[in-house]
Structure 1
Amino acid sequence: MTFIFAHRGSAGTHPENTMEAFLQAERAGADGIELDVQLSKDGEIVVIHDETVNRTTSGKGFVKDFTLAELQNLDVRDRFGVAGKLRIPALKEVFGWLKTNRLLCNIELKTAKISYPSIEEKTVALIKAYQLEERVIFSSFNHYSIIHCYRLAPEIEIAPLYSEMLFMPWVYAKSIRAGGIHPRLVTTSDQIIQTAMENGIAVRPYTVNTEKDMRRLFEIGCTAIITDYPEMAERIRKEYE
């Protein structure tokens, strides 16, 4: 069965990387969530995609220049009309909720543009504190970052993110001890997906948002898809069970 990971939660229907988006992913029948982490000024791991708060909140400036309390005081922009006050979650809040279910969690380390001191160590320590080692996958466009995570905790799966064509990505994945690859969908043919899987490497393309693309990947039994629309994906997946 192809797993469904809700990209930044159910980002196509709820404000991305909020608890509301993650709760909706669970309701929709997703197998896991994907989220992004950065560090606040006071060293807390926070769940937000951009290096700045400009696009997704009422504030302006870099995430790293706000304390956790200041970040959580910002209003998250809501174009979907979700009831109630929305805020940027701390990763430990998400982990507390994950202990109430069996969802997997793909953590993208946002270390490609800004170097966050000890973000890998802090995230690994939190995963271990909540005993989520078997349910977490680390990914990043900064492959040094996930390799560092592997060295800290080889029991936690790592999977490189990449957006360009990569030659024999399963060979590269094995060379860095990765259990999977997270390629941009448009760079990835059925043959690459199938060959990687035959070589023991999980393939979870992003971002799979159309019915046509979902059907293509369900038909070949791709390991997982990362989508903004977990509810649609689950509806279509049921046809293939």
Structure 2
Amino acid sequence: MSSFHIYGHRGSSGTHPENTLLSFQAAHKAGAQGIELDVQLTKDLVPVVIHDERLERTTNGIGFVKDFLYEDLVRLDAGHSFSSRFQGNSIPSLKSVLEWITSNSLMLNIELKNGRFPYDHLETKVLELLTHYHLYDRTIISSFNHYSIQRLTQNGCKVETAILLMEKLVEPWDYLQQVGANSIHIECGAIDEYFITNTHKRGIPVRAFTVNDPYQIAALKKAGCSAIFTDFPLVAMQSI
């Protein structure tokens, strides 16, 4: 429980277009131990790396990710809305990111974006790719959709699973057991001493998101957090 890890939140999303290969490479270059990314399914059931259900904020596309075929989705520009100098970057497939990850030792947090749309085959497709690339041992699968996490654990998932929380729960460790997950990923403002002490006592990893303030990062490390997710991995690495 003593090691503390920095995960690039959607890569180095404070300095590069989020959830692009370029952003993940920047997080790796900054020295982060891991990256966090979001996965949804295209109309033809290809897992792609993008946060919003809609395309407008991060790309030049219009509409829902789920309504596009993969071949149409990859033609969109996922860099220009961040900065014109990143124009031409595309939405990566999960496959392409996993292929790249096999060339390094980064840890990986895959967030299943199935809160708004259930994406019936999402868990299966993600597990198939993780199996293919032998990445079970350095991957965590998380979601705000706790039914999805429960399904994974009930089906004997060998990958570490985490529930995502935005606020404090009463006895979250009991709830975690109910879902069958291994760890808690929680909004940094919802963490207090009682939560950390009691979660630690039970050997449950706690990872905080999204933490960009160097003093807060240092404080969470001191408090015994297992990891933080940050938009600025280079700044985070310099603060620990």
Fold match by TM threshold 0.5:
yes
Quick one: distance in 1 between partners of 2:86 and 2:49? 20
Which stretch of the first structure deviates more once superposed, 165-174 or 222-231? Answer: 165-174
Quick one: distance in 1 between partners of 2:106 and 2:202? 26
2:112 to 109, 113, 120: 109
Quick one: distance in 1 between partners of 2:224 and 2:30? 20
Which stretch of the first structure deviates more once superposed, 123-132 or 190-199? Answer: 190-199
What CA deviation, in whole Å up to 9, does each residue of 1:164-218 have, x standing for no partner?
2211212221232221101111111133123212211100011111122112112
Per the alignment, residue 131 of structure 1 pairs with: 134
Per the alignment, residue 40 of structure 1 pairs with: 42
Question: Contact between 1:185 and 1:208, CA under 8 Å: does it hold in 2?
Answer: yes
Q: Describe the shift of the 1:76–1:198 C-alpha distance in structure 2 as closer, same or farther (beyond 3 A).
A: same
Quick one: distance in 1 between partners of 2:156 and 2:17? 32
Q: Which amino acid aligns with 1:136?
A: T
Quick one: distance in 1 between partners of 2:106 and 2:174? 29
What CA deviation, in whole Å up to 9, does each residue of 1:51-70 have, x standing for no partner?
01111000100001111111
Per the alignment, residue 187 of structure 2 pairs with: 184
Per the alignment, residue 204 of structure 2 pairs with: 201
Question: Contact between 2:10 and 2:19, CA under 8 Å: does it hold in 1?
Answer: yes
Quick one: distance in 2 between partners of 1:71 and 1:83? 17
Per the alignment, residue 148 of structure 2 pairs with: 145
Alignment of 1:88-99 (within 5 A): 88-99=91-102
| Offset, 1:127 | 0.7
Tell me, what secondary structure is at the counterpart of 2:109?
Answer: strand
What CA deviation, in whole Å up to 9, does each residue of 1:23-78 have, x standing for no partner?
01101111111100000011100000000111100010000111111111001143
| Offset, 1:94 | 0.5
Q: Which amino acid aligns with 2:48?
A: V
| Offset, 1:151 | 2.8
| Offset, 1:88 | 0.2
- Report percent identity of matched pairs: 43
Per the alignment, residue 14 of structure 1 pairs with: 16
Quick one: distance in 2 between partners of 1:125 and 1:153? 14
Unaligned runs of 5+ in 2: none
Quick one: distance in 2 between partners of 1:164 and 1:83? 35
2:227 to 214, 224, 229: 224
Quick one: distance in 2 between partners of 1:60 and 1:183? 31
Per the alignment, residue 23 of structure 1 pairs with: 25
Q: Which amino acid aligns with 1:72?
A: V
Question: Contact between 2:212 and 2:231, CA under 8 Å: does it hold in 1?
Answer: yes
